[in-house]
Each structure stands twice: as structure tokens, then as C-alpha cells.
Amino acid sequence: MKDCDRDRRRLLRLLVAAPAAAAAAVGAAAVGAARAAGKSGAAGAAAIPGPAPSPRSAPARAVVARGRRDGLLDESGAIDRARLDDLLGAVVARAAATATPVAAMKRLFRPSDVVGLKVNALAGGGPAPTPALVGRLCDWLQEAGVPARNIVVFDRTDRELTGAGFTINRGPTGVRCFGTNQEYDWTPREWGPGGSCFAKILVDDITALINVGALKDHDLAGVSVGLKNWYGVIHNPNKHHDDGCQPFIPHLAAYPLIGDRLRLTVIDGTRAQCHGGPARSPRWIWPWQGVIASTDPVAVDAVGWAMIETRRREVGLPSLAASKREPRYIATAASLGLGVADMKKIAIEEI
């Protein structure tokens, strides 16, 4: 081998190594700068190019189980747990086409799953999932073989969860329950028209989801039933409120971290709200005392929207369309193949 060849190779190696060293120095500087700026997470993390969801094959029909019980709320506003047990169990079982709620959980989840229950606790004390309902879902999951430690009840903040009556548990035993607003996977992910960092627990831990939503009006989106609840898993929901949250809500729901893991949607309609949402607005709350559930996340929203419109008519409010707040995102979700929005194709099984 000639000396000049060796020298040339050495030079090439140096040239190749130099950018790497420079990159390392720049990386160190970036991390230092990020720390100096009080940032958390990976500085300069690459954005994961995100697909606009490829249309799925839309289901032809959907089944939504729905039921209500007079006396679910007693005169003091407390929940009658026996009635809730009976009602919720029947609705969940019917939604999964099984005989019992435990059988439903066995059908939808594996014992090895880490099951996340995303609750919408913003309007605690009003139209929001109650700890009693969420607790029974957790019980049945455990009876179906999912260890308590592998069940996670979560929303954005501890404050909202405690405001809705939940007890925070970040401890080593029992069902976990906590807010995720300070624990994101700081890697921006594209999800079609939007881009966000997702709750770390969803990225790293959860393998299956139950969406536990409310039945309520939403000032921007029109309604907040099930699909809107997913705004609570991203770090920047406030960046996706334009144009009635359309088309952001369905694209977010279609993102694989959510869309591929969602097994069941349960809507706590113990107290529902037809106007003035998403926060609690006592004037517009009515004690519907019911539950809706389905494995079709779009059909649940379509049914919930129809119920809110009915209530609005009953109390003399204009329709959401007339108020320019029609939840157009539900039809978009159907067009993405996430479920059925056409009420004619939704079988509502009353319990």
C-alpha cells in the first residue's frame, strides 16, 4: 500500500470523524442551553413524521348500548351504587356483546394489557365521569385478570382529577390515578393537521384504552362526548381549537397511539349538560342518570350529540347548527373510517 493512499484514508477518516465530534459538541451545547432555559426532555429531538391517517375500512353498522335508571342519583345528589352497578354492567356487557361486564372486559382486554382509562374530569361535580363508575370499570378489569397495577386512570391534571372526586395514586400498589400534564414524551409527533407531544404514560406504558367521557356541550367543538376527550393526552390542546376543532379531533383520534389501542368508549351521563360547556354550568345540567357505551367511538359521539340536541330543544335553546357550533368533526371521523356517524346505521340498544 502506498503511503499516499494510507494518508488519504487517514484524512478521510478524520473528515468523517470531525463532523461527528462537532455534532457531539453542538449536542452538548444544546442540552446545556435547554437546561439553562429550564427545559425538560430531549432537546432537539427529531419530529417523528406523522401520517395523515390512511382511511380505514369504515364499519357498515354500529351498536351503541344506552340505559338510564330513575333513582341513580338520590335526592342529595349521591349515586346509588347498586343501581349504577346494575345499569353500567348491563350497558358494558351489551356494548361488547357479552353476557356480563367481566366477560366484556375479558373479550376486549388481555391480562397482559396495561389499560388506560382516560377520563374527562374538567367539569368535576357536573358532567364528568364519576369515581364510582370508573371504579366499577376498574373492578371488572381486575376480575378479568388485569392486575390493578396495570390499570391507569388519568387526565391532564391532578387538580381536575381531585376536583372530580378521584384520589391520586402514584404509589407502587393499586390502580394508578394521576394527571399527566407534566409528564410528556418530549418528541413532537405529527398527526395529520396537528403536531404534539403525547402523555408519557400513553407512549411508554399503556397498551389498551377505555375512553371514559362525559355528555356535554362544548363551546368550541359543539359537543364533548368521547372523541374530544383525546385532547387531554397532548401537550398543546389549545393549538387545535380553530374552526370547531375540525379536523383536529378525528385526526388525533386516528393517531395509532390512540386509534390502535382504543377498545371501548363509556360515557357517564349521570349528569349531562346541554349548554355552557365544557366547564360545569349548573343552569344547563340535567340529571339524565344514564350510561352510553360502544366499541365504536364515532357512533357514541353521534348518539350523544343527538341527545344534547334533543335536550336543547326541550329547554328552548337553538340547535348547535343554528348556533354555528355543529360538531362537524363527527362526520369527518366517520370519513376517516373510525366508526359510524350515520344515525340510520347505528343500532341503539336500550337497556
Partner 1 sequence: MDAARRDVLRALMASGCAAGLGGVTGLGALGSPCPVFAQDEAVGPAIAAPGTSDLPLTPARWWKALDEGRVECGLCPKKCRVADLERGACGVRENRGGKYFTLVHSRPCSLNLDPIEKKPLYHVLPGTASLSLATPGCNLQCRFCQNWEIAQARPEQVPTFVLTPAQAAALAVQRRAPTIACTYTEPVVYAEYVHDIAVAARKANVRTVMVSNGAIMEEPLDDLMGVLAAVKIDLKAYTEKFYKEVCGGELKPVLDTLRRLKKKGMWIEIVVLVIPTLNDGEEEARGLARFVRGDLGPEVPVHFTRFHPAYRIQNLPRTPVATLERARDIAMAEGLQFVYVGNVAGHPGNHTYCPGCGEMLIRRVGLAVTDIRLTAGRCPKCRRAIPGIWSVA
196/19 Cα distance (integer angstroms): 30
CB of 315 to partner 1, least distance (A): 14
The residues of the shown chain that bind partner 1, judged by CB under 8 A, are 25-26, 28-29, 32-34, 36-41, 43-44, 46-47, 49, 122-123, 157, 181-182, 184, 186, 188, 190, 195, 219-220, 235-236, 238-239, 241-242, 275-279, 281
Strand boundaries in the chain, DSSP class E:
62-68, 115-119, 151-155, 176-179, 184-191, 194-199, 208-218, 222-224, 262-273, 285-286, 290-294, 346-350
CB of 193 to partner 1, least distance (A): 10
Q: Which is nearer to partner 1, 169 or 181 (CB)?
A: 181
- Closest to 99 (Cα-Cα) out of 140, 46, 134: 140
CB of 238 to partner 1, least distance (A): 4
Largest CA distance in the chain: 97
249/330 Cα distance (integer angstroms): 9
Q: What angle do CA 141, 209, 288 make, to 5 degrees?
A: 80
Backbone angles phi, psi at 42, to 5 degrees: -80, 115
CB of 196 to partner 1, least distance (A): 9
Residues in the chain: 351
CB of 308 to partner 1, least distance (A): 16
Q: Which residues contact 23 (CB under 8 A, 6 or more apart)?
A: none
Q: Which is nearer to partner 1, 41 or 318 (CB)?
A: 41
Beta pairing partners, 217: 223
CB of 283 to partner 1, least distance (A): 9
CB of 35 to partner 1, least distance (A): 8
Spatial contact of 288 and 230, defined as CB atoms under 8 Å apart: no
Q: Which is nearer to partner 1, 53 or 297 (CB)?
A: 53
CB of 146 to partner 1, least distance (A): 30
Q: Which is nearer to partner 1, 50 or 250 (CB)?
A: 50
Q: Which is nearer to partner 1, 41 or 77 (CB)?
A: 41
How remote is the C-alpha of 217 from its chain's centroid?
A: 17
- Closest to 58 (Cα-Cα) out of 251, 318, 291, 340: 340
Q: Which is nearer to partner 1, 220 or 331 (CB)?
A: 220
Q: Which is nearer to partner 1, 200 or 345 (CB)?
A: 200
Q: Which is nearer to partner 1, 140 or 191 (CB)?
A: 191
- Closest to 86 (Cα-Cα) out of 101, 64, 98: 101
